[in-house]
């Protein structure tokens, strides 16, 4: 049998019959340890005492040396394993979460800009991204160009006066917000591109945004592919689901997948059926992505057929 420090044969009475200890090279020992962890076949019996055997075997001079080597080896092995544990879908997960964070921050700042600039030029009548761009480019209303469509309205505005100092501050604030929106577009494009490569089927069935969100919520493509379709169907409706499981409510029909146009744009009466069909399509798509990675158009076709039959049935 194999231990982390040696290949060892034991007699029936527990004494060592044969032993070839490894060298004390921590990196080699760590790699050896990981091999056994993956494929634990020749494991020692329950009563086997590795410490005494390692000393008898000549691997270590005493207990102190044994434990010190063991710790170094285990730390090295753990480091290696952590390093190899990152999967490519982690990038998508972080990107999706960054997108959510940006949305939250941008909404907050956009609201502030709306109120702030609204005091000065309420007639501009723009919101969020448009307003941010407008302010970043033009600044205060007295700075508007002659040919601007707002030139006339600006002259008769009821808003309060602001001086150049106010203008500089608010312009810079709007510029920051604009760059945040720009960053959002870049990240979105990045997700689209990566979803096509990482999960082409999920991308086709769910769309890049929803697909990425599903991966992020499941904690990875692998975990998503292991989920039953009923879980995918209600993922994101946790509160409603647990209320239902406690017997206090009807079961939720859809969670995050509600954002899919198939469900969002359907009549409420058939949303439950749609959600079930879509979830099963998503779960098949994620499985094909996780285990083969090849685009299979049959999945989308099958879902489309199902969707047609649901629509015709009603």
Partner 1 sequence: MKAKTFHENIFTLQQGKKRFLATRNLSPGFEVYGERLVQVEQAEYRIWEPKRSKLAAMLLKKLTSPFTTTSKVLYLGSATGTTVSHVSDIVHKGVVYAVEFSPRTMRDMLPICEERPNIIPMLADASKPQSYANVVEPVDVIFQDVAQPDQASIALSNVQHFLKPGGYLLMSIKARSVDSTAKPDTVFKQQLKTLLEQENSKLELVKKQKLAPFHIDHLGVVVKKTE
Point out which residues bind partner 1 (CB under 8 A).
Answer: 1-4, 33, 36-38, 40, 43-44, 46-51, 67-68, 70-71, 74-75, 77-79, 81-82, 85, 242, 245-246
The CA distance from 86 to 78, in Å, is: 13
Phi-psi region of 172 (alpha: psi -120 to 50; beta: other; left: phi over 0): alpha
- Judged by beta carbon, residue 43 or residue 108, the one nearer partner 1 is 43
CB of 142 to partner 1, least distance (A): 53
Could you please report the per-residue DSSP string of 21-49? Answer: EPPS-HHHHHHHHHHHHHS--SPPPTT--
Residue closer to partner 1 by CB (options 29, 110) is 29
Residue 8 CB, nearest distance to partner 1 (Å)? 10
Question: How near is the Cβ of 73 to partner 1 at its closest, in Å?
Answer: 8
Q: How big is the chain, counted in residues?
A: 314
Q: Closest approach of Cβ 32 to partner 1, in Å?
A: 9
Q: Angle of helix 208-218 relative to helix 268-291, nearest 10 degrees?
A: 70
C-alpha 233/C-alpha 229 separation (Å) is 6
Residue 24 CB, shortest distance to partner 1, in Å, is 16
Between residues 1 and 172, which has the closer beta carbon with respect to partner 1?
1
* Nearer CB in complex with partner 1: 6/262: 6
- Cβ closer to partner 1: 219 or 293? 219
Cα(287)–Cα(218) distance, rounded to whole angstroms? 13
């Amino acid at each position: 049998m194999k231990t982390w420090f040696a290949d060892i044969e034991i007699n029936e009475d527990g004494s060592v019959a044969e032993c070839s200890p490894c060298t004390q090279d921590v990196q080699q020992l760590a790699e050896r340890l990981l091999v056994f962890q993956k494929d634990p076949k020749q494991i020692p019996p329950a009563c086997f005492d590795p410490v005494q055997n390692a000393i008898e075997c000549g691997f270590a001079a005493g207990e102190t040396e044994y434990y010190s080597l063991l710790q170094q080896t285990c730390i090295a092995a753990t480091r290696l394993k952590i390093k190899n544990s990152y999967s490519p879908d982690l990038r998508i997960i972080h990107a999706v979460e960054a997108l959510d964070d940006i949305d939250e921050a941008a909404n907050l700042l956009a609201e502030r800009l709306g109120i702030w600039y609204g005091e000065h030029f309420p007639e501009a009548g723009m919101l969020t991204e448009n307003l941010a761009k407008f302010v970043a480019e033009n600044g205060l209303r007295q700075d508007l160009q002659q040919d601007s469509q707002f030139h006339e309205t600006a002259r008769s505005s009821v808003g309060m006066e602001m001086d150049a100092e106010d203008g500089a501050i608010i312009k810079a604030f709007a510029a920051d917000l604009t760059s945040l929106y720009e960053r959002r577009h870049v990240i979105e494009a990045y997700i689209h591109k990566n979803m096509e490569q990482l999960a082409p089927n999920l991308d086709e069935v769910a769309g890049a945004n929803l697909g990425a969100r599903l991966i992020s919520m499941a904690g990875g493509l692998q975990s998503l592919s292991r989920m039953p379709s009923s879980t995918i169907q209600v993922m994101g409706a946790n509160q409603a689901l647990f209320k239902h499981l406690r017997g206090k409510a009807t079961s939720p029909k859809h969670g995050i997948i509600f954002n899919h146009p198939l469900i969002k744009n359907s009549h409420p009466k058939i949303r439950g059926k749609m959600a079930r069909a879509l979830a099963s399509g998503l779960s098949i798509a994620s499985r094909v992505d996780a285990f083969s990675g090849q685009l299979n158009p049959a999945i989308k076709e099958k879902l489309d057929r199902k969707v047609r039959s649901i629509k015709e049935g009603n």
